[in-house]
Amino acid sequence: MALDHPARALNSLGLPKAPADTRVVVAMSGGVDSSVVAAVLAEEGYDVVGVTLQLYDHGAALAKKGACCAGRDIHDARRVAEEMGFPHYVLDYENVFRDAVIDEFADSYLAGATPVPCIRCNERVKFKDLLETARELEADCMATGHYIQRKLGPAGPELHSAADSARDQSYFLFSTTPEQLSYLRFPLGHLASKADTRALAAKYGLSVADKPDSQDICFVPDGDYAAVIEKLRPEAASPGEIVDMEGTALGTHNGVIHYTIGQRRGLGLGGLADPLYVVKLDPDTRQVVVGPKEALSTRTIPVREINWLGDEPFTSRPEWHMGVKIRSTRPPREAIIRPISDTEAEVELLTPEAGVSPGQACVFYAPEGSRIHGGGWIWRGA
């Protein structure tokens, strides 16, 4: 008669295996965060496999130290793998990245939106294609250096903000699905500060311990979005008029791609008694519409492509009272979310917000605690 065996204790990744029997694919960007994740897991005895994605031609994309996944970063990731003694692979994802991220970024910008390509990259490349590659490598899970927490709740894995609010990356990861969340791990999310991460890098003697953080979109390493858009879409620099909210021409511009909602400086409109702000971009008429600051205030935001991470169905209630973020750098604001369908909603801000733009994310946060309930995309001016 077979005997019942006690349940095997879970390892630090929450899996019922010994670390040596647990294969982990670590998504390595070449920066200090993902390098520390790989080093910690390797030291704990896990079967670590490092994978770095080459997302674009780093020679043609104005490679710059500090830009994610450029040539230097691939070299740095490979060096960390050598230092810690685990295999490392570089995968060519240029075509996927161009089709899934760069082309949409350019088209969204031309349509007058303010896209957030880092979210699309996580959604369509890292947590989709790379995750599938990890499964093909027979990994038990995939780990990344993102500052966010995965916690087990009554209904399964939950997404929570990082312990360090200054480093929290939940805004960029709201579209992570429950299925992906069951496979992903975020070992840095509980750390109190980036200083703790760098201390770990120094402890392991990693060559990237003092490497500066990347500040820009990886394929726009100098921050000049307009130059990249113009290269991808030469027609984007067509001149047009700067008009007020009544349609009166106030000046001219050399392409709507040079402007963003809420912009005040660089309009080239001198001699005005009161400052004017960009309140709308109309790519069809090639007009940049300007107005007073109060014209930027938005209370109602239409949201679509919603990824819902709550325990109850999204449409099970007529409204949800939550916090929402419409910019990664601002804290959540109180809001009422009214579902229209499983993937669409109207979001009412209790306090109007300035500079809301189509193309930005609207991320849902629990009214108390650190849990993220998903989010969606702002798709037109309110």
The answer to whether 141 is a known catalytic residue is: no
Query: Do the beta carbons of residue 322 and residue 312 sit within 8 Å?
Result: no
Catalytic residue among 68, 118, 141, 218: 218
Catalytic residue among 68, 118, 121, 141: 121
| Residue 227: partners with Cβ closer than 8 Å, 6 or more residues away | none
For the chain, what is the largest distance between any 2 Cα atoms, rounded to a whole number of angstroms? 93
Measured between alpha carbons, how far is residue 314 from residues 208, 317, 318 in Å?
43, 7, 9
| Residue 9: partners with Cβ closer than 8 Å, 6 or more residues away | 16
Nearest 10 degrees: CA dihedral of 138, 144, 150, 152?
Answer: 20
- CA 284 to CA 111: how far, in whole Å? 8
The continuous run of DSSP H or E covering 150 comes out as strand 148-153
The answer to whether 218 is a known catalytic residue is: yes
Report CA 364 to chain centroid distance, whole Å.
14
Rg (CA), the chain: 23
Query: Do the beta carbons of residue 249 and residue 123 sit within 8 Å?
Result: no
Show which residues are catalytic. 121, 218
